[in-house]
């Protein structure tokens, strides 16, 4: 650990020691690591910072279905705020944003300037730059927010840190879920050390957590089956699209989950297929704008294809492994054709 990070952790400790009423929050679409890390943070400070009189958690809907599959995370449901007027952010000494880049990520429409007297701390692991000024920003690009939090408190509290069985489970659950079972690039030496440290003390079911992280909820089934039925292979890539009849069904969460499962899991285990794309109807608020009717998500394994380049042809964007764009077309199949033509054009250079 470098001196700069040590200074940050000293500041974290001093902010916690000088706070009486604090708020913890995270991004909406609360996923397994977000829920696990916020509950972990709350439970550690409850046990170790007796000066803090009030620890509130406030999170906006929706809660990802995947969180509901994991029993240890059920507490998070208590903290969902229905009405944005109930946030009362100004009343807190400090606000801790966990597993998100900034407060706007959690509550889009708030006025940050009104929070001059409130300290804002972000503890994140995403590669994303905060959009407003922070009092403290901690991010080592760990594979999961639970890993970041555990290692930070181990440093801050040292031998005083006592990890309970539930906390040890939360740490592992966040890591396993966000690293898809310890296989993503961010997984490091510390990740394996932590897993080894808690393996016998607090038993979790890694395979169950990974399967739950990718479980397709019932309401997404018909979309997923439609994507599978429409799957087409080409030379080195594959693609699928939503059928026009089904595109009329406005179930945004169902479509998103089916798309996510399809691109994350289904695109990858096919021999000879290194990249691909999925065409679906775009989200409801843009649905009436016909120029944004079809939304195309591209994914590739290990940079086998510059998918960003394709998306950019449609004024979309992304990065080397994942990109997206809108395509205007009278039907989903026509949108597919438009994309295929651009791919052909780019390949012919
Ligand atoms: Mn996370």
pLDDT value at position 288? 58
Distance 60 CA to ligand 1 centre (A): 16
CB-based burial, 220-249: b 16+ in 10 Å, e otherwise: beebbebbeebbeeeeebbbbbbeeebbee
Distance 231 CA to ligand 1 centre (A): 30
pTM given for the model: 0.83
Distance 145 CA to ligand 1 centre (A): 5
CA nearest to 306, candidates 294, 291, 318, 290: 318
pLDDT value at position 290? 57
Distance 16 CA to ligand 1 centre (A): 22
Whether the domain at 3-213 and the domain at 218-347 fall into the same CATH topology: no
pLDDT value at position 86? 83
- Residues near ion ligand 1 (CB < 5 Å) are 33, 99, 145, 178
CA nearest to 336, candidates 241, 233, 236: 241
Both ends of the chain: CA-CA distance in Å?
A: 48
Distance 179 CA to ligand 1 centre (A): 9
Domain boundaries, the chain: 3-213, 218-347
Beta partners for 317? 324
Distance 187 CA to ligand 1 centre (A): 13
User: What CATH topology corresponds to 218-347?
Assistant: Diaminopimelate Epimerase; Chain A, domain 1 (3.10.310)
Distance 299 CA to ligand 1 centre (A): 20
Distance 267 CA to ligand 1 centre (A): 23
Distance 343 CA to ligand 1 centre (A): 33
CA 187-193-197 angle, 5° bins: 135
pLDDT value at position 84? 81
DSSP for 122-146, please give it.
Answer: EE--SS---SS--SEEE----SSHH
Q: What are phi and psi of 268, to 5 degrees?
A: -90, -35
pLDDT value at position 1? 73
Distance of alpha carbon 255 from alpha carbon 126, whole angstroms:
24
Distance 259 CA to ligand 1 centre (A): 20
Task: Let me know if domain 3-213 sits in CATH 3.90.1640.10.
Answer: yes
Distance 173 CA to ligand 1 centre (A): 11
Distance 85 CA to ligand 1 centre (A): 27
E strand or H helix that includes residue 342? helix 332-347
- The one-digit pLDDT tens for each residue of the chain (349 residues) are 788 999 999 999 999 999 999 999 999 889 999 999 999 999 999 999 999 999 999 999 889 888 998 999 999 999 999 888 889 999 999 999 999 999 999 998 899 999 999 999 999 999 899 999 999 999 999 999 999 999 999 999 999 999 999 999 999 999 999 999 999 889 999 999 999 999 999 999 999 999 998 888 888 899 999 999 999 988 889 999 999 999 888 787 788 888 888 887 777 667 888 899 999 987 655 555 555 689 999 998 877 789 999 999 999 998 888 899 999 998 999 999 999 999 999 999 8
pLDDT value at position 157? 97
CA nearest to 41, candidates 132, 117, 119, 147: 147
Distance 87 CA to ligand 1 centre (A): 23
Distance of alpha carbon 41 from alpha carbon 94, whole angstroms:
14
Distance 59 CA to ligand 1 centre (A): 15
Distance 210 CA to ligand 1 centre (A): 14
How far CA 42 is from CA of 38, 59, 96, 259, 302, in Å, comes to 6, 14, 10, 33, 37
């Amino acid at each position: 650990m470098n001196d700069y990070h040590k200074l940050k952790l000293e500041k974290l400790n001093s902010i916690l020691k000088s706070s009486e009423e604090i708020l913890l929050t995270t991004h909406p679409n609360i996923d397994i690591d977000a829920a696990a890390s916020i509950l972990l943070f709350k439970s550690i400070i409850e046990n170790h910072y007796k000066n803090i009189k009030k620890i509130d958690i406030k999170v906006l809907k929706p809660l990802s279905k995947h969180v509901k599959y994991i029993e240890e995370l059920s507490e998070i449901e208590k903290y969902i705020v229905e009405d944005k007027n109930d946030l009362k952010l100004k009343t807190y000494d400090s606000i801790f944003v966990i597993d998100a880049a900034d407060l706007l990520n959690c509550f889009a429409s708030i006025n940050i300037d009104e929070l001059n007297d409130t300290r804002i701390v972000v503890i994140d692991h995403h590669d994303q730059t905060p959009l407003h000024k922070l009092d403290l920003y901690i991010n080592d690009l760990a594979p999961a927010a639970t890993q970041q939090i555990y290692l930070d408190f181990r440093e801050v509290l040292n031998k005083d840190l006592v990890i309970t069985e539930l906390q040890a489970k939360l740490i592992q659950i966040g890591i396993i879920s966000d690293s898809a079972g310890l296989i993503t690039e961010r997984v490091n030496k510390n990740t394996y050390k932590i897993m080894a440290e808690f393996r016998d003390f607090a038993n979790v079911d890694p395979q169950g957590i990974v399967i739950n992280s990718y479980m397709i909820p019932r309401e997404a089934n018909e979309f997923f089956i439609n994507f599978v039925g429409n799957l087409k292979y080409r030379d080195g890539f594959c693609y699928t699209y939503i059928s026009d009849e089904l595109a009329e069904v406005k179930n945004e969460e169902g479509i998103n989950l089916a798309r996510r499962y399809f691109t994350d899991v289904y695109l990858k285990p096919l021999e000879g297929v290194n990249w691909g794309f999925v065409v679906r109807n775009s989200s409801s608020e843009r649905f009436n704008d016909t120029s944004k009717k079809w939304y195309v998500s591209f994914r590739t394994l290990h940079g086998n294809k510059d998918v960003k380049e394709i998306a950019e042809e449609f004024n979309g964007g992304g990065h080397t492994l994942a990109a997206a764009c809108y395509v205007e077309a009278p039907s989903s199949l026509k949108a597919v054709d438009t994309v295929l033509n651009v791919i052909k054009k780019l390949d012919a250079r």
